Amino acid sequence: MSPAVEARGVRKEYGGLVAVEDLTFAVERGQILGVLGPNGAGKTSAIRVLTTILAPTRGTFAVAGVPNTRPADIRQQIGVLPESAGYPERQTGSEYLRYHARLFGHGKESARAVAAALLAEAGLSASARAPIGSYSRGMRQRLGIARALVNEPEVLFLDEPTLGLDPSGQRQVLTLVRRIARERGATVLLSTHLLGEVEEICSRVLILNRGQVAAEGTVAEVSRQAAAPQSARLRVEADSVSEAHRILAAERGISAVELADGQPGTLALTLEDQQDTTPMNGALCALAEGGVPVLFFELEGARLSDAFLAMTESS
Amino acid sequence: MMRRRLLVSASAVFFGLVPAGPAASSSNQIAVSVDRTAIATSLGHKFSIRSRIANTGGSAATALVAHLNVLSLRPDVYLDPEDWSSHRTRYLPAIPAGGSVTITWRMQAVNAGSIAVFIAVLPQSGDPRPPATGPTVHVSIARRKTLNSGGILPLALGIPALLATLSMGLRMRRRASH
Amino acid sequence: MATVERTARPRAWAIVAAQELRDLWLGGRGLLLSLAFSGLLSVLSYLVATNQALNFLEQRESVNLTLQVAIAVGALLALLAGADAISGERERGSLESLLLSPVSRLQLTAGKLLAALSLWVAALVLTIPYVWFLGRGVGIVGDALATGALVGTLLALFLVSLGVLVSIFSASNRVSLSVSLFVLLALFAPTQFPTSAQQGWAGDLFPRANPLTSGEHYVGKIVVDGHSWSQDASWLASPIIAAALFTALAAVAGGRFMRLSGEVSR
């Protein structure tokens, strides 16, 4: 079976500015691909090309098996939440979804049923008859996701779905996305800045930087690809800092122990072998044996965010 | 629909028997007659005059032009002939000896009062000899009030009021449903 | 999630038009504009009707004036709605969602154009009682309304299409409305020229070539001068050509050049 999304050498120029250069990747059906990149990396341009809003300057792609030469057919198979989606303020949520359902070919009655079901799925049933102008930002994002589902798409493109939301709103949106991917079996391309969420729900990651693919693969593969330096950070009680410093400085495999600036009780550790983190096990045991409780511990450089920063800053 | 009341004078009622006025020398052969010489009507009504232009000479009459003249018989009434009839100049075909041409002049009574209408026929060559003219048709137009201004207020207020009511009703309905 | 059967696809332009009409009229904006329009006609007709010196011809001219104002303002409203059609969506951020639907750009354009035209239709309907009141005494109501409907519809179609055309290529609503209004004013400007400036071949050609002045002339000849419909039919040429040409241009532009950003992509 062909991939859900496949791009080969896609390039997008705006006049002399290259927004996307040689975008080549594939996403298998049912996967959730996290599309990452700093501002101006070309994420939105890439999504707009793949969703047929913009024509590529060069290259080919296919979505749900439909080639880019048939954009109307692609649009039948996809659902999209654009980055800066606007909504008609005076329409109600129900009216809005019914309209888009009809644009996708539903009759009047089936559009009504689709709208009611999607509003329930997005947790907006209580606000169905309220004007969209009264919706909070989080509600609008969920409405946008609901609209992206009116045609039961095979592929769902979500461009910054949690942009501008508080943590509670972010959690609601991502829970919805996870449920959609699981229950509908749709392939999801999720563009976001929230690396933690990408680690949590995405099966694969695509990192863009200055219009080019910087990395692609699973989260673990991309993290390893960056070969980010391994270090650790731990926090102990303030009156145990000097004792912890003494214990850790004596541990084999740890080359430096320093107080972290501006973070009371926090020590930053540098490993001698930056690819080998096993000395940390010994260090933690030594602290426990020395009666120093560890309040917080984190191994840095093994996170996606570390790989992201390493890849995008080095370019 | 307004009822039309067109009163015809008893003095001359049949077509073609009202003779032309004294004909000029070059137009000796041209005689102009009309179907009636008196018309009574009301302001705004349309009426017509049929004129017959006959060639009484021995040879064909060519290159003639007929013109409808309209004037007010009262000095205090301004009249613009163009308002009465927009087609007042007719270029005639050649009239054989003994033949005739009939023209119907359609007009609308634009001014109230006493109006005179006559037809003149002259050559297109611009010959300075006097044209042949037909008899004067006297048209009496009765004044009639065509607009009752008192009735405008309910309309002028009613329609905006209706729209305002609809607009407010719609707004209240929207608020209630939300 | 309900499983639904898709029926044969209804014409998308009709769905777009229906939604736009609901937004315009049930949303309240159309009614407010109609209210303002009727207020204008009410003031005008009241002033005209209460003029005690009104004679027969002046009454016909009053009907003509009312009709000309109705056509001008009604067509203006349609122009403004057309100018907002695409650039307004662009500015509100809702154009992308529409472009992501499987509806063709042409059908999208057609639906919005039809909905914008409804403002002229409403203006025409509202004009009927005023023209009836002013014209019933002189027997010109039927001719006046029929002529006004014909010329007004041609001009409204021309201006709506012009507005939509400008809207397709405008990055913002402000640009779209400004350009559209400027073009309209430029078309109205010749009506203010002194009579001496309207002499000669240019003085005859320009009023005929300008659909607004040409349409105004035709209506005046029917209503005031009592001409027959065919007598001045040549004056209808430019309104007909303008309506047909700009409708076609708007359709082509909408189908080929409607973009997210309002610029023709390079």
**A30, A146: one domain:** yes
N residues, chain C: 266
DSSP-assigned letters across all residues of A17-68: EEEEEEEEEEE-TT-EEEEE--TTSSHHHHHHHHTTSS--SEEEEEETTEET
**pLDDT band at B129; cut points 50, 70, 90:** confident
Cβ–Cβ below 8 Å for C101 and A75: yes
Q: What is the pLDDT of residue C8?
A: 44
Q: Please state which CATH number belongs to domain B7-146.
A: 2.60.40.10
Closest to A40 (Cα-Cα) out of A176, A174, A212: A212
Domain with A264 in it: 228-314
Torsions phi, psi of C104, nearest 5? -70, 155
**A71, A93: one domain:** yes
Burial A90-100 (b: 16+ CB within 10 A, else e): bbbbbbbbbbb
Burial label for B126, CB within 10 Å (0-12, 13-18, 19+), is exposed
**Residues of chain C positioned with their CB less than 8 A from the CB of B163:** 31, 34-35, 38
Report the distance separating Cα A205 and Cα A189, nearest Å.
9
Q: What is the pLDDT of residue C200?
A: 66
**pLDDT for A264-283, tens place per residue?**
889 988 887 766 777 888 88
**A260, A294: one domain:** yes
Residue C199 to residues B37, C195, C210, C231, Cα–Cα distance (Å): 40, 7, 16, 22
**Residues of chain A positioned with their CB less than 8 A from the CB of B178:** 92, 129-131, 134
**Number of residue pairs across B and C with CB atoms under 8 Å?**
81
Min Cα–Cα distance to chain B from A129, Å:
6
**Residues of chain B positioned with their CB less than 8 A from the CB of C35:** 160, 163-164, 167
**pLDDT for A114-137, tens place per residue?**
999 999 999 999 999 999 999 999
Who contacts A16 (Cβ-Cβ below 8 Å, separation ≥6)?
A: none
Report the distance separating Cα B137 and Cα A112, nearest Å.
76
Q: What is the pLDDT of residue A281?
A: 85
CB count within 10 Å of CB A49 equals 24
A residues 92-151 lying closer than 8 A (beta carbon) to C: 95, 99-100, 102-107, 110, 113-114, 117-118, 121, 147
User: In the predicted model, what is the mean pLDDT of chain A?
Assistant: 88
Min Cα–Cα distance to chain C from B141, Å:
12
**A173, A262: one domain:** no
Closest to A190 (Cα-Cα) out of A32, A5, A304: A32
Q: Which of A91-95, A235-239, B91-95 has the lowest mean pLDDT?
A: A235-239
**pLDDT for B17-45, tens place per residue?**
455 443 333 445 899 999 999 999 988 78
In chain C, which residue's Cα lies nearest the Cα of A80? C100
Is the pLDDT confidence value at B14 over 50?
no
Chain C residues whose C-beta sits inside 8 Å of any chain B C-beta: 26, 28, 31-32, 34-35, 38-39, 41-43, 45-46, 49-52, 54-57, 59, 126, 129-130, 133-134, 137-139, 225-227, 231
Report the distance separating Cα A26 and Cα A209, nearest Å.
18
> What is this model's ipTM?
0.86
Is the pLDDT confidence value at B10 over 60?
no
A229 versus C240: which is more confidently predicted?
Answer: C240
- The pair of structure tokens assigned to C20 is 């736009």
Q: What is the pLDDT of residue A87?
A: 94
CATH number of the domain encompassing residue A159:
3.40.50.300
In chain A, which residue's Cα lies nearest the Cα of C258? A53
A223, part of any domain: no
User: In the predicted model, what is the mean pLDDT of chain B?
Assistant: 83
* Distance of alpha carbon A32 from the chain centroid: 9
CB count within 10 Å of CB C104 equals 15
What is the distance in angstroms between the CA of the first residue and the CA of the last residue of chain B? 50
**pLDDT for A189-203, tens place per residue?**
999 877 877 888 888
Domain layout of chain B by residue ranges: 7-146, 147-178
Min Cα–Cα distance to chain A from C19, Å:
7
Q: What is the pLDDT of residue C195?
A: 59
Angle at A72 between CA A71 and CA A73, to 5 degrees: 90
CB count within 10 Å of CB A175 equals 12
DSSP-assigned letters across all residues of A212-261: EEEEEE-HHHHHHHHTPPPEEEEEE-GGGHHHHHHHHHTSTTEEEEEEPT
CATH number of the domain encompassing residue A305:
3.30.70.100
**A127, A204: one domain:** yes
**A142, A253: one domain:** no
**A169, A21: one domain:** yes
- The pair of structure tokens assigned to C172 is 């913002």
Cβ–Cβ below 8 Å for C16 and A85: no
Who contacts C222 (Cβ-Cβ below 8 Å, separation ≥6)?
A: C143, C144, C147, C229, C232
Report the distance separating Cα A102 and Cα A111, nearest Å.
6
Q: Which of A30-39, A166-175, B138-147, C143-152 has the lowest mean pLDDT?
A: B138-147
Residue at a domain's end among A184, A217, A250: A217
A222, part of any domain: no
pLDDT, mean of each 10-residue run, chain C (266 residues): 42 94 92 94 87 65 91 93 94 92 93 96 96 85 94 96 96 93 88 63 80 93 89 94 96 90 54
Q: What is the pLDDT of residue C9?
A: 53
Chains interfacing with B (3 or more CB pairs < 8 Å): A, C
- Name the maximum alpha-carbon separation found in chain B: 94
In chain B, which residue's Cα lies nearest the Cα of C227? B86
